[in-house]
Amino acid sequence: MRSQVLLALLPFLRTEAIRIIHANDDGWAELYTRSFHDVLIAAGHDTVLSAPAENKSGTASSDAEPSPRTTACQYNSCPANTNQPIGRNESSPRLNWVNSFPLTSMRYGIDAIAPPFWNGEAPELAVSGPNVGSNVYIQVHFSGTVGAAVFATKDRKVPAIAFSGLSSGNLAWNTTPIPTRSLVYAQVANKLVDAVVNSGKPYLPEDVFLNVNLPKVEGKCTDPNNFKFVLSRINVGLFSDKDVYHCGSDRLPLEAGVALSGDGCFVSVSVGDANDKTTAPKEKQAVVLNKLGGFFTCMP
């Protein structure tokens, strides 16, 4: 069944294949993450998942060495009493769990888990999520999904994208049939990955991450082709410097307003500063805008 789903997605998947490290904060067996992982693999990317053994939402940039696992992993996805700090799906060894926080999972993924798959090379891109639920404005500072992405770009100098989806409801990796929202989020997230990769290296400016919020999958927003991407900002900008000039203004729309607009299937894409998880300065916004060009649309 899963292979048939992936074959159905292949018309959407056209890009250069690269090495991608993948994490999240909802747990390694969460369906949104597994669907995205499947799409990245189907697109030809050399992708390795390294995510927490269980749901670790809201843990921000917490980091601690993983401890031996004594209970079963999320959704019984690993047996009890493994007594191991990290583990993997033996039939699909690119799927790995770390018994700690999202940031720790990203750290182990970059430093230890993924390199053997890549002959010791580093990842070219880090992705995190899609998170189950939004990560906008204040939520960004508490998000483990964002924390993992920020670590990748700030501490390991790997360009990173944090994805979140407003359609909530946690689901196990083996849920069948796969709900539309999980498939749609995977495809739409991959579109942005395509755009970033096809823009050429360096994919993003130094110490920058993209914070992406996808709207609810409902109505006309059940078709991946109807989603449109809007350049946005994370925090309110009343007292901050001007943004890059775009869509007739030097103040970008707030990501919360874009993703929660309820009309137009708009995806907010904010250029975040990895040093403080706020909006990056206009000079770095401009680099992203110049690279992605016509990929962005304007709000009505």
- Asked if the structure places residue 266 within a domain, the reply is yes
- Asked if the structure places residue 177 within a domain, the reply is yes
Q: What is the CATH number of the domain that holds 120?
A: 3.40.1210.10
**pLDDT higher than threshold 80 for residue 36:** yes
- Asked if the structure places residue 86 within a domain, the reply is yes
Average pLDDT for 61-76: 98
Amino acid at 94: R
The answer to whether the CB of 158 falls within 8 A of the CB of 152 is: yes
> What is the DSSP secondary-structure string of 26-37?
S-TTBHHHHHHH
Residue-level pLDDT at 3 = 42
**pLDDT higher than threshold 50 for residue 203:** yes
**pLDDT higher than threshold 90 for residue 7:** no
What 3-state class would DSSP assign to 5? helix
Residue-level pLDDT at 1 = 44
Question: How many folded domains does the chain comprise?
Answer: 1
The answer to whether the CB of 53 falls within 8 A of the CB of 99 is: yes
Residue-level pLDDT at 4 = 42
Average pLDDT over the chain, rounded to an integer: 94
Q: Considering the entire predicted model, what is its pTM?
A: 0.95
Q: What single DSSP character describes residue 224?
A: G
Q: Which domain holds residue 7?
A: 2-295
- Asked if the structure places residue 300 within a domain, the reply is no
**Which residues pair with residue 283 across a beta bridge?**
none
CA–CA gap between residue 211 and residue 162 (Å, rounded): 5
Instruction: Name the least confident of 196-205, 217-226, 257-266, 281-290.
Output: 257-266
Average pLDDT for 45-50: 98
